[in-house]
């Protein structure tokens, strides 16, 4: 995987998540936090999803409009993890959120 680019599927087409890509939650997704955990509710499908503390931090950064590279940098700094690990973990979460229509990507 090249630094700064992650491929993942979204609505039956390949999407490239670049360093400057911005993510946003769609209007049908509600979030509620309790401590360091967050629950996401997809009101259209009636499904909910739980995020741990790192997932919650990534979700909050997405909601703040931080681009993917900024999310990775902050995760590295705040959780003292190597860049490769932070990028892989953030991309995996975003890939899962995207596959469940909980985030949209603007390349």
Does the pLDDT of residue 90 top 70, yes or no? yes
pLDDT tens by residue, 8-66: 334 444 456 787 888 999 999 999 999 899 999 999 999 999 999 999 999 999 999 99
pLDDT at 10: 41
Q: How would you write the chain as a 3-class SS string?
A: CCCCEEEEEECCEEEEEECCCEEECCCCEEEEEECCEEEEEECCCCEEEEECHHHHHHHHHHHCCCCHHHHHHHHHHHHCCCHHHHHHHHHHHHHHHHHCCCCEEEC
pLDDT at 5: 40
pLDDT at 18: 80
- Whether the pTM exceeds 0.85: the reply is no
pLDDT at 16: 61
């Amino acid at each position: 995987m090249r630094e700064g680019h992650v491929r993942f599927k979204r609505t039956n087409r390949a999407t490239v998540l670049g360093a400057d890509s911005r993510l946003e939650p769609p209007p049908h997704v509600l979030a509620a936090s309790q401590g360091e955990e967050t629950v996401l509710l997809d009101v259209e499908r009636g499904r909910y999803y739980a995020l741990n503390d790192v997932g919650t931090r990534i979700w909050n950064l997405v909601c703040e409009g931080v681009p993917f590279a900024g999310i990775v940098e902050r995760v590295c700094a705040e959780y003292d993890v190597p860049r490769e690990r932070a990028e892989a973990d953030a991309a995996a979460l975003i890939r899962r959120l995207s596959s469940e229509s909980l985030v949209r990507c603007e390349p």
